[in-house]
Structures are given as structure tokens and as C-alpha cells.
Amino acid sequence: MAVGNLSIFTAFIGGLITFISPCVLPLIPAYLSFISGVSIDEMRYLEDKKQITHRVILNSLLFIAGFTLIFIILGASASYFGKLLLKHRDIIEKVGGTLVIFFGLHTMGVFNIKFLNYEKTLKVKQTSRGLVKSFLMGLAFAAGWTPCISPVLSAILILAAKQNSMPQGMSLLFVYSLGFSIPFFLAGMGINIFFVFFNKIKKYFRAIEICAGILLIFLGILIFTDNINLQSLLDKFSCISIYLS
């Protein structure tokens, strides 16, 4: 099956949710400071910001390249194994959809799945310098298994496993990465605007978790019932409308 508009939209929204999740968003300034070697105060208050902004942007791009590479590799792997198990597609849909629904309930706080709270990250030595350090930090960020990233990322990977080809699965994870990368890059360009945004949104963290959970549950139901293709979904609604009329 081709990558539908609904799948692409879900992947992009998943990246945005990852960015604004309560255990990622507060750390964005620290990530920007660490990868660029520029203090948060310098980013916010220094009058001549041209050189500093250039450094932050350049290192942000390398950081983005690092985690995008990992996400694309994960998407390729999910698509490859999904294709191998194509004859068991019905089972994959039922099991995958059920897992995504459970991830949604976990994100909403209905119950706690302990292994999703386990964090395993790559260690980047402090001796790493410049652009190489930023790229390695991107790899480390994507490889981290955190309670905020894992439910959404796992759902997108299950979606990637349903694709018929490896490029389709890779494209979904690329779009997921875009959903995270765009606001991260914008935060690097305007850290003061980011802090204004953060102060406004932090009061809604609980609502964000609930909305993310609802999105995952909805996605899980679509995967379970094999309705993830938007056109197929619209066709079914059309049929129902015609029948009722």
C-alpha cells in the first residue's frame, strides 16, 4: 500500500508531539547550549548575536542530521521485517494496533508500562568537539529510549512496518523527524521566542499528554482495523452515508 496522506500527517504530528512532550521541551535550551557551546544567557541577551546564531544554527542542523539518520534507519528496518512477515499481515495489524492502543493509554497515564520508562542513551564523550559532537549528540538523542519518545516513535514504526516497500517506511520516519526538526531549528534561531512559547505551553503539559494518548489510541484502532489509508476511510464513510440516505 502506498503511503497515504493520513499516514504522513500522523507521522508529522507525531514528531511535533515528541517536541512539545513534557520531558523533551524543557530540555531543548540545554541541548542547544550543549551542542553549540553557547550559554543560554549568551543566546538570549548578547547584543551582537550574528556569530552566535550562525554557530547555533550550524550545530542544530548537524544534530538534526544525526537523529534523522537513526530514525530513517529504524524506518527501513521496520519496513524490511514487515515485508518479510507480509503473509502474517492480519496478525501484525491486530498485534500492532493493540500495542499502539496500549501506548496511548500509557501516555494518558491510565496505567504505567514500566519498560517504556527505561532510558538507554549513547554516551557522547566531552572530548568530542564542534560539528562532530553535534552529530553524535543527534545519534544519541534518537537512540535514547525515553518515556516521551518511545510510545509515539513505536507507533510510527508499527505504521512503517505496514508499508509495502522500504522507501515508504523510511519516508514516514523522515516526516516524523521533520515534525521534530522544524520547531527545534526555529528554537535555535530564536531562543527568546522559544522561552515565551515554553512559558505559555507548560501549563498545558497534562492536556498534551492526554491529546497524544488519544491520537495514539485512534491510530491503534485504524491499524487494528486496517483503515489507515485516508482514501479508504473516506470511501467507507461515503458508503455509509449513501446507505443511510
Residue 177's pLDDT is 94
Distances (CA, A) of 66 to 45, 71, 133, 142, 198: 29, 9, 10, 8, 25
CB 169 within 8 A of CB 78: yes
Please give the backbone phi and psi of residue 60, each rounded to the nearest 5 degrees, phi first: -60, -40
Residue 144's pLDDT is 64
- pLDDT band for position 238 (cuts 50, 70, 90): very low
Number of residues written out for the chain: 245
CB 101 within 8 A of CB 214: no
Average pLDDT (134-150) is 73
pTM: 0.78
Residue 244's pLDDT is 38
Average pLDDT (156-167) is 83
Number of domains composing the chain: 1
Q: Which amino acid is at 27?
A: L
The sign one gets for the Cα dihedral 16, 3, 229, 158 is negative
Q: How far apart are CA 29 and CA 10, in angstroms?
A: 26
CA atoms within 13 A on the CB side of 3: 23
**Mean pLDDT value across the chain:** 77
Residue 11 domain boundaries? 5-244
Average pLDDT (12-29) is 87
Q: How far apart are CA 177 and CA 114, in angstroms?
A: 25
Output 73 or 35, whichever has higher pLDDT: 73
Residue 243's pLDDT is 37
User: Does position 180 have pLDDT exceeding 90, yes or no?
Assistant: yes
Average pLDDT (175-183) is 94
- pLDDT band for position 113 (cuts 50, 70, 90): low
Output 97 or 182, whichever has higher pLDDT: 182
For residue 104, count CB atoms less than 10 angstroms from its CB and return exposed for 0-12, middle for 13-18, buried for 19 or more: buried
Specify the range with the lowest mean pLDDT, choosing from 17-26, 164-173, 219-228. Answer: 219-228
- pLDDT band for position 4 (cuts 50, 70, 90): low
CA atoms within 13 A on the CB side of 79: 21
